């Protein structure tokens, strides 16, 4: 049997494979189920035990040689088109390009509108301490927003939590800089909410802050009207009295959305008005807590949910879409950035 193997090795080495037919012939002769190699492996079973080792080794050498020859022939006989054979009219395979996420698009647009009037972007950490999220913003110790029901605390470090709003960045910026301060602060926030079409445990906000000498409520109103007109193309706003611990007076800003369509009636509950953000004059306690003299400076702040703005702009009815990354949802936003 060893002789036979030697012979076949020789034969394989001398075989020339020039085209695909010859390659296939070679495969049938040596490597197929009914080929020579399988025959030899069958015969191997009858080889006396004391010769098994030597014969087995040679058999493997043969098998490898046959395989190498065949694989080599495959590479060599692949059809390679010459330039004259290319058909340039055949459409190419489609390349799927990604798209920007609608939340990124909305955030960018909001930021750009404020940048045009002299605001710039500031950011802060998502894992925060109590001071920057609550105490520095004039939240009394027993305020319900501090409750475990709403806030994710870091179990091992009870003074640390996932920020529940981007207002925490205000405090950091006021600690770092003296006025004039004119910033917008986009970012992710966290609240202990069950996930539904209207709520999520993680979402995005953008906060604004303007502090200087003699900044008034009228300045706030004009700035926010400018934003609403630039972003939504809507002409009218109204400010409703509200309450936030860090602003005094505080207000909620409504946009006049109109009642032109059935959808307008539905989303405005028949009133034509839609609430889009909270705002107010920064409470003197908040300024003082961060080292800014409330006798000399005043300012306004505002905050809005980016998902809510995106849902209004693109008529998206379920918050969960933003976080599922379904390409059927994301694809239409291609080209909007």
172 makes contact with ligand DAH (CB under 6 A): no
136 makes contact with ligand DAH (CB under 6 A): no
Q: How many helices (H) and strands (E) does the chain have?
A: 13, 10
Residue 43: count other Cβ atoms within 10 Å of its Cβ: 13
Give the phi and the psi of residue 300 in degrees, each rounded to 5: -125, 160
Among 73, 138, 151, 167, binds ligand DAH (CB under 6 A): 167
Least CB distance to ligand DAH at residue 232 (A): 19
Among 136, 179, 186, 280, binds ligand DAH (CB under 6 A): 280
169 makes contact with ligand DAH (CB under 6 A): no
247 makes contact with ligand DAH (CB under 6 A): yes
| CA separation for the pair 215, 328 (Å, rounded) | 46
Among 124, 179, 303, 311, binds ligand DAH (CB under 6 A): 303
Piece in contact with ligand DAH (CB under 6 A), picked from 13-21, 58-66, 273-281, 327-335: 273-281
Give the phi and the psi of residue 270 in degrees, each rounded to 5: 80, 0
Give the phi and the psi of residue 278 in degrees, each rounded to 5: -105, 150
Token code pair at residue 20: 């695909």
| CA separation for the pair 126, 167 (Å, rounded) | 11
Least CB distance to ligand DAH at residue 159 (A): 20
Piece in contact with ligand DAH (CB under 6 A), picked from 149-157, 231-239, 296-304, 319-327: 296-304
Residue in the structure block whose two tokens are 């030899």: 40
DSSP notation for 37-60: HHHHHHHHTTS-HHHHHHHHHHHH
Least CB distance to ligand DAH at residue 278 (A): 3
CB 270 within 8 A of CB 254: no
207 makes contact with ligand DAH (CB under 6 A): yes
Among 102, 136, 179, 278, binds ligand DAH (CB under 6 A): 278
H helices present in 119-166, as ranges: 130-133
Q: Which of 90, 135, 165, 86 is nearest to 286 (CA)?
A: 135
Piece in contact with ligand DAH (CB under 6 A), picked from 19-27, 108-116, 265-273, 278-286: 278-286
165 makes contact with ligand DAH (CB under 6 A): yes
H helices present in 207-261, as ranges: 217-232
124 makes contact with ligand DAH (CB under 6 A): no
Give the phi and the psi of residue 77 in degrees, each rounded to 5: -100, 5
Least CB distance to ligand DAH at residue 301 (A): 3
What are 143-148's contacts with CB under 8 Å, separation 24+? 143/245, 148/192
Least CB distance to ligand DAH at residue 303 (A): 2
Token code pair at residue 120: 């710039």
Among 134, 244, 257, 273, binds ligand DAH (CB under 6 A): 244
Least CB distance to ligand DAH at residue 247 (A): 4
Piece in contact with ligand DAH (CB under 6 A), picked from 41-49, 94-102, 110-118, 277-285: 277-285
Least CB distance to ligand DAH at residue 236 (A): 20
Residues that bind ligand DAH (CB under 6 A): 165, 167, 207, 244, 247, 278-280, 301-303
């Amino acid at each position: 049997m060893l002789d036979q193997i030697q012979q076949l090795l020789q034969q394989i080495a001398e075989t020339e494979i020039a085209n695909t037919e010859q390659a296939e012939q070679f495969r049938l002769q040596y490597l197929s189920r009914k080929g020579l190699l399988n025959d030899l492996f069958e015969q191997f079973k009858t080889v006396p035990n004391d010769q098994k080792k030597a014969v087995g080794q040679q058999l493997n050498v043969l098998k490898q040689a046959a395989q190498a020859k065949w694989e080599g022939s495959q590479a060599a006989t692949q059809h390679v088109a010459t330039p004259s054979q290319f058909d340039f009219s055949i459409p190419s395979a489609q390349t799927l390009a990604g798209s920007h996420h609608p939340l990124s698009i909305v955030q960018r647009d909001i930021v750009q509108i404020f940048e045009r009037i002299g605001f710039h972007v500031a950011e802060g950490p998502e894992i925060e301490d109590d001071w920057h999220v609550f105490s520095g913003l004039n939240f009394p110790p027993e305020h319900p927003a501090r409750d475990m029901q709403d806030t994710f605390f870091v179990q091992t470090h009870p003074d640390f939590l996932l920020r529940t709003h981007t207002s925490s960045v205000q405090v950091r910026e006021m600690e770092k800089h003296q006025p004039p301060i004119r910033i917008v602060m986009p970012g992710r926030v966290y609240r202990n909410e069950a996930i539904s079409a209207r709520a999520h445990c993680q979402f995005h906000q953008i906060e604004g802050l303007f502090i200087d000498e003699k900044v008034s409520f009228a300045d706030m109103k004009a700035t926010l009207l400018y934003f609403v007109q630039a972003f939504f193309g809507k002409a009218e706003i109204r400010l409703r009295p509200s309450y936030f611990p860090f602003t005094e007076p505080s207000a909620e800003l409504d946009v006049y959305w109109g009642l032109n369509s059935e959808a307008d009636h539905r989303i405005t509950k028949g009133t034509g008005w839609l609430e889009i953000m909270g705002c107010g004059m920064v409470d003197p306690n908040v300024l003082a807590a961060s080292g800014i003299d409330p006798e000399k400076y005043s300012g306004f702040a505002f905050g809005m949910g980016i998902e809510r703005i995106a849902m209004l702009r693109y008529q998206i009815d379920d918050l969960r879409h933003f976080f599922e990354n379904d390409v059927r949802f994301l694809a239409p936003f291609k080209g909007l950035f």
